[in-house]
Amino acid sequence: MISIQPFTQEYQQQVIDLIVSIQAQEFGVSITADDQPDLKDIKNYYQKNAGNFWIALEADKIVGTIALVDIGNQQGALRKMFVKKEYRGKPLLIGQQLIDTLLQSAQQNNLAQIFLGTVPNYYAAHRFYEKNGFVRINKSDLPNNFQVMPVDKIFYMKFGKVL
């Protein structure tokens, strides 16, 4: 049984381990936990205003994460969406549960737009975002308040009442 719940401090090291291992080992992104100070301060970085950070748990083990950063102007940034490889897709649909949780929260908090950046070789992620109503945009179309990560080269937006 998988549960989706807001992050609590007791899971910090598991979050770091999951995200860094997927970034480095699966996708070959040269990034460490030290390069991502937000992972060491999730409460203050993500869990404020309309933002939050959710974890997918099987028993007491993290198998997925997703975060929403409130960037102001009724806009949010989707960050840190990761699902452990053996938990992706059917039948569990953990990624779908995570994004549904994020979008429901964004709607409840009256966010009008959600932006995200990703790397070119996350092909399944691209299809997943598009399936969930995100449209690809140019980097120049991002709002000034969106923090672009150095590894991100592809950008998406979901907007309007479809949230």
pLDDT of residue 119: 86
Q: Are 148 and 115 in contact (CB under 8 A)?
A: no
Q: Are 100 and 128 in contact (CB under 8 A)?
A: no
Instruction: Return mean pLDDT, the chain.
Output: 93
pLDDT of residue 161: 52
The token pair at 87 is 């938990």
Chain centre to alpha carbon of residue 62 = 14
Write out pLDDT tens, residues 25-72.
887 877 889 989 999 999 999 999 999 999 999 999 999 999 999 999
Quote the CA–CA distance of 76 and 52 in Å, as a whole number. 10
What is the model's pTM?
A: 0.93
Quote the CA–CA distance of 31 and 37 in Å, as a whole number. 11
Q: Is 133 helix (H, G, I), strand (E, B) or coil?
A: coil
Write out pLDDT tens, residues 125-162.
999 999 999 999 999 999 999 999 888 999 999 986 54
pLDDT of residue 157: 97
Could you tell me which of 157, 150, 155 has the C-alpha nearest to residue 139?
155
pLDDT of residue 163: 46
Question: Would you kindly state where each structural domain of the chain is located, as residue ranges?
Answer: 2-162
pLDDT at position 124 over 80: yes
Which of 1-15, 21-35, 80-94 has the lowest average pLDDT?
21-35
pLDDT band at residue 121 under the 50/70/90 scheme: confident
What number does CATH give the domain 2-162? 3.40.630.30
Q: What residues are paired with 37 via a beta bridge? A: none
pLDDT of residue 162: 45
